[in-house]
Amino acid sequence: MNPRIVSPGSPRTIIAFALSALLLGGCATLSKDGGFDTVTQVTQDRTGKTAKVIRTDDDVASVQSSIKALLAKPLDAGDAVQIALLNNRGLQATYAELGIAEADLVQAGRLHNPGFTFKRTRQGDDVLIERTFMVNLINLITAPLAKKIEGRRFEQVKLLVTNEALRVAAETRKTYFEAIAADQSVTYAKQVNLVAESGADLAYQMGRGGNWSALEQAREQAFYAEATAGVARATKASVMAHEKLTRLMSLWGDDIKFQLPDRLPDLPVKPLELDNAESLALQNRLDVQAGKLETAGLASSLGLTKTTRFVNVLDLGYVRNTQTGQPHERGYELSIEIPLFDWGGARVSKAKSIYMQSVNRLAETAINARSEVRESYLGYRTSYDLARHYRDNIVPLRKKISDENLLRYNGMLIGVFELLADAREQVASVNGYIDALKDYWIAETDLQTALGGKLPNNSVAMKGQ
């Protein structure tokens, strides 16, 4: 049997092409991982910890099992970060942005549903039947570009979601150090209060015996009152830091009784040297990469807007009419929007403005990234030098002074009040070192964030282990 040849321009060819494209477009499906593999890989690389999206009851059970194991011992900074990445509810909500963006991508790759109309009329004994099959040609033409645009946006959302995971990790790490420092401050505030109480009691007894002036007695009582207030302030700061850390890890019930170490990690042997901080920041920061993708996507979107500025409704349909006693009528129908009142200029102008807005925001992000990394590195080095100065100079000198005063007290060269005053000053110097050490670890985390979530040659200590 000889095959029947249909001319390329015939309605059947057009409809066959439209149906083929429709079937191919309908093949787009959601991925198995929902784009989360990228988040997992980048987060693992930059924090050393695992991010996980919770979708099923099995996921919930797995996450809870991991959290219980971590809470069974005093948490280090890495443990706190791991719990936050797994359990932070706000972060889990952000993870859902990936599913939304991927759904938009798949939808962009699917053509609009075709239309079919059926009309049957009777005129006497004659029956007229009209059938029309319509396909949106504009959607058929622009679908590949629309899918490309949504693909870029999907990649951008991956970066933004990962960046949010890194932000939560950094915030958790900083709060972890603040909580430990606050606990240590409570300990030393209580020591100061105990010394002040002893001084106030002694002053009161000596005042009753007429061996101490009312002025000196009032001074000791005032210091004791201030020390008591200091304990209250330190306790409040400790509770607030613990609660903030609890929120970041999204813990409740008995899990809020997590344990922290008694003291902050020691200062590293030497600080990190950075000669190319700005280039590292521009290369690694996810907000810069996301801005680039957004700008590229808007450029493509601008091209699409220009392409469809005059015609944004174009439908092609196959028509087949039958009438009793008459030959069948076949043909096609073309429906087009006439740009009589709207020539698309406003849409193009809006697209251009949105594109230029993105260009300038990208430039702002890059400029801010350079400035932030310079500022963070200065803060990092200054905090390191200050903490080392406290550790190597101020605290040892205060201890030496305390030892000398104790010898003089034993030799009856100074009185008990001088010894108590020296003890207060020594505790104050230790408190200063705790604050300086806390500031160093926070500054290191800020530098890590400014560089994109990872320090060069990341050491174990830098990962919070």
Residue 14 confidence (pLDDT) above 70: no
Q: How confident is the model at residue 139 (pLDDT cuts 50, 70, 90)?
A: low
Residue 173 confidence (pLDDT) above 60: yes
What is the mean pLDDT of the segment spanning 298-320?
52
Residue 458 confidence (pLDDT) above 50: no
The DSSP string of 305-316 is HHHTSS-S-EEE
Q: What percent of the chain has pLDDT over 70?
A: 74
Asked if residue 100 belongs to a domain, the reply is yes
pLDDT tens-place string over residues 377-400: 999 999 999 999 999 998 898 888
pLDDT of residue 68: 95
Residue 441 confidence (pLDDT) above 70: yes
- Domain ranges, residue 337: 11-463
pLDDT of residue 326: 56
Asked if residue 165 belongs to a domain, the reply is yes
Asked if residue 3 belongs to a domain, the reply is no
Asked if residue 5 belongs to a domain, the reply is no
* Alpha helices per DSSP H over 250-285: 277-284
Task: Please state, rounded to an integer, the average pLDDT across all residues of the chain.
Answer: 79
How much is the pTM? 0.80
pLDDT tens-place string over residues 237-281: 999 999 999 999 999 999 999 999 999 999 999 998 888 888 888
Asked if residue 216 belongs to a domain, the reply is yes
Residue 116 identity (one-letter amino acid): F
pLDDT of residue 460: 38
pLDDT tens-place string over residues 118-138: 666 776 666 676 666 666 666
Q: Could you give the angle at which helices 137-208 and 214-249 cross, rounded to 10 degrees?
A: 160
Lowest-confidence segment of 80-84, 230-234, 235-239, 296-300 by average pLDDT: 296-300
Asked if residue 132 belongs to a domain, the reply is yes
What is the mean pLDDT of the segment spanning 156-173?
93
The DSSP string of 130-186 is EEEEEEEHHHHHHHHHHHHHHHHHHHHHHHHHHHHHHHHHHHHHHHHHHHHHHHHHH
Q: What is the dihedral of CA 367, 383, 184, 76, to 10 degrees?
A: 60
Residue 152 confidence (pLDDT) above 60: yes
Residue 454 confidence (pLDDT) above 60: yes
pLDDT of residue 88: 95
pLDDT of residue 223: 84
Highest mean pLDDT among 20-29, 189-198, 279-288, 434-443: 434-443
Q: What percent of the chain has pLDDT over 90?
A: 36
CATH code for the domain in which residue 442 is found: 1.20.1600.10
Lowest-confidence segment of 11-25, 113-127, 144-158 by average pLDDT: 11-25
3-state DSSP helix/strand/coil % of the chain, to nearest 5? 70, 10, 25
- Which residue has better confidence, 461 or 150? 150
pLDDT of residue 420: 76
What is the mean pLDDT of the segment spanning 199-209?
82
Euclidean distance between the first and final Cα of the chain, in Å? 78
Q: Could you give the 3-state DSSP secondary structure of residue 210?
A: coil
pLDDT of residue 107: 77
Residue 465 confidence (pLDDT) above 50: no
Q: Exposed, middle or buried, 271 (CB in 10 Å: 0-12/13-18/19+)?
A: middle
Q: How confident is the model at residue 30 (pLDDT cuts 50, 70, 90)?
A: low
Residue 6 confidence (pLDDT) above 70: no
Q: How confident is the model at residue 316 (pLDDT cuts 50, 70, 90)?
A: very low
Say how many CA atoms lie within 13 Å of 319 toward its Cβ: 11
pLDDT of residue 136: 65
Asked if residue 327 belongs to a domain, the reply is yes
Number of domains making up the chain: 1
Asked if residue 41 belongs to a domain, the reply is yes
Lowest-confidence segment of 190-194, 206-210, 332-336, 425-429 by average pLDDT: 332-336
Q: How confident is the model at residue 1 (pLDDT cuts 50, 70, 90)?
A: very low
pLDDT tens-place string over residues 36-86: 888 999 999 999 999 999 988 999 999 999 999 999 999 999 999 999 999
Q: Could you give the angle at which helices 77-87 and 57-71 cross, rounded to 10 degrees?
A: 160
Place of tokens 């042997």: 269
Residue 149 confidence (pLDDT) above 60: yes
